[in-house]
Amino acid sequence: MKPQNYLENILKSQTLLEGCDELKALRSEREKVEQLLNNGFNESNPTIQYGGSKAKGTMIRESYDLDIICYFGHDDKKCGETLEEIYNNVKKVLDPKYRINPKTSALRLQNKDPQKFGVDFHIDVVPGRYTDKSKQDAFLYQSQGEKKSLKTNLQKHINIIKDSNLVDTIKLIKLWKIKNGLQIKTFVLELLVVEILKSRCKLTDSKGLDVCLKKFWEQIRDDINNIKIEDPANPTGNDISELLSTSVKAALSSSAKRVLESVGKDRWIDIFGETEPLDHDSKVAAVNIISQKRSDFPKPWSYSV
């Protein structure tokens, strides 16, 4: 099987198709979360949006999460005076129904039912406050580190990925990360893919997934220390270089070297494994998705609820 065909089959097996059990469960739980937030902050009218891989189109079956963004108006004090109060107040609203696992800026939701206690819903709620009435930039609370706030922009993060024409490559790189246990933030890895394959190589998925992957791994193997990335939401204010520590770079470079040895032997199966067989309906739906991406790549769109 040609590398391109093999990689497309891997993508098909990793695609969460419309109507699948996983997406149904996520959407069902998301509706409950939205109702809790709207009822709990009925005087604030928060903006609730999809974020993360769902918004960017980079969700994969191997490891998927649903980010639910809950942002409040820049002058709204009913939700909390400070970012920390907003974070804690959102936690209080969700706490009666969910076991909350607090993260740096998000609240991970788990089952509180004694019979299913701790079962993960694959949902992170991200509270924040818009910086002004334009509702573009927002501040998030940071529970760890010296800085207690982070300026971000959801749509800029979505746009840079969706406009890259590298969504399929990013999905495969995410799968590589998971299978190799690489400890790098997903959004940092996404930015690395875009920086290497758009700014330097001018490649896109349409040039061949195997070509894109090989070029990415070669740059990571040979030049990881000279690759610079910045946060598109706040290039001068958010230093993400610390997320690419010496140990993270070494792990990325070492893993890239190993997979390139497999590529050289035409052993792609050693990197991503066997492709899972699909039933007829899943095959048709997956092929249609791949075909649509190739011919008419979608432009960024609003995820406002």
Token pair listed for 268 = 């792609």
Specify the residue for token string 């788990």.
Answer: 110
CA distance 280 to 77: 53
Q: Are 192 and 227 in contact (CB under 8 A)?
A: yes
The pTM assigned to this predicted structure is: 0.83
**Interval 84-126: pLDDT, tens:** 999 999 999 999 999 999 999 999 999 999 888 888 999 999 9
208-248 per-position pLDDT tens digit: 999 999 999 999 999 999 888 888 888 877 777 777 889 99
Domains belonging to the chain, first-starting first, are: 17-152 (3.30.460.90)
For residue 299, pLDDT over 50 is answered with: no
